[in-house]
Structure 1
Amino acid sequence: MNLADHTLRVAALEALVAFFTTEYKAARREAETAYRDNKVKKVTIETPDGVQLGDITVKQPSASVVIDEDKLLAWVAEHTPHEVEEYLDTAVQLDEEAIEWARVNRDDLLRRRIRSVWRAELVKQLTAHGGEVIDERTGAATKVADVVPVRATGEFSLPPKGGSERRSKLMAALLRGDLKAIPVTALSIVAPAEGGEGA
């Protein structure tokens, strides 16, 4: 190939990539809508002749929990005080002697927070109980958060495992003309025409 051929080849392939990318994005949007509307969690990729090529997993949203941090900290301090830790403001190094000194001399530098593992557990409780934490001894509920349900979007991911093999099999099916019934403009570029010999 001469320089003009190399240049035209690169430009033509770039045009194809842009065309396929646009169509791929549109196909994903349409699939997301279909998955969302049909409440799909998982669907198998299957060729017309029944070959299964893995599963598409549709992302499932979790509720958004908006916590009143002061209320939650106060509740934990009262019900499970051992799950509250003290730490110094970021202006001071985290050092036990410094914390002890600050407790006595500079309590304005001292902050309190819920231990991270316990906080993660509380967020699960809040999600399950509509923003309320439950006192295990008395059963009393205290509201410290609002739980906002998040609507499913239908967003999905193709399985990374076996991706290369899946793509090879789909390209072979495409070039044989097995996927011509799929309404995709881009596929007609590489799929053989009716009555053609294929690639």
Structure 2
Amino acid sequence: MHDNTLIPRPSTLDLSEFVTRFGDIYEHSPWVAKLTWERGLQAAQDTSAGLAEAMGRTLREASPERQLEVIRAHPDLAGKAAIAGDLTDDSTREQAGAGLDQCTPEEMARFERLNAAYKEKFGFPFVMAVKGSDRHAILAAFEARLENSQQEERRTAIEQINRIARLRLDDRATNR
């Protein structure tokens, strides 16, 4: 992972500028950026790694209810939103990068079955940082994680969401 400096430096931004620039790092959850800014930003948060750690801590320390809101804000992998073109730009790029836009009809049916079984068991969508992965590895992870307890899986989903956030911040730092 890169440790690139973000420009403009997050510690120099006011709340409004910070939320405008980083409010979308967590899918449909600008409160993570707002609360992170309110906790105070130092020069250590001016890198993608430093800001990812601060924002990740905000989410990890949030109430289970708020964590579930963030998890539920994520789209199904290879789900109806992807097919309909209703994903955020970041999610579209991430899913396409993992080849989820190239699934065979059989793989799509398997994703739909797994998405349904997972939601039935946990009450939220399966979330995975798919960058650098492929649909076969994702399907295997899906099946393995269906064995987790509710608490284990909420923790795993939050870890994966924080990985997604780190990757998104790395992209912003390198693609100025």
Q: TM-score range by the shorter chain?
A: under 0.3
Identify the structure with the greater helix proportion.
Answer: 2
Q: Which has the larger radius of gyration?
A: 1
Identify the structure with the greater strand proportion.
Answer: 1
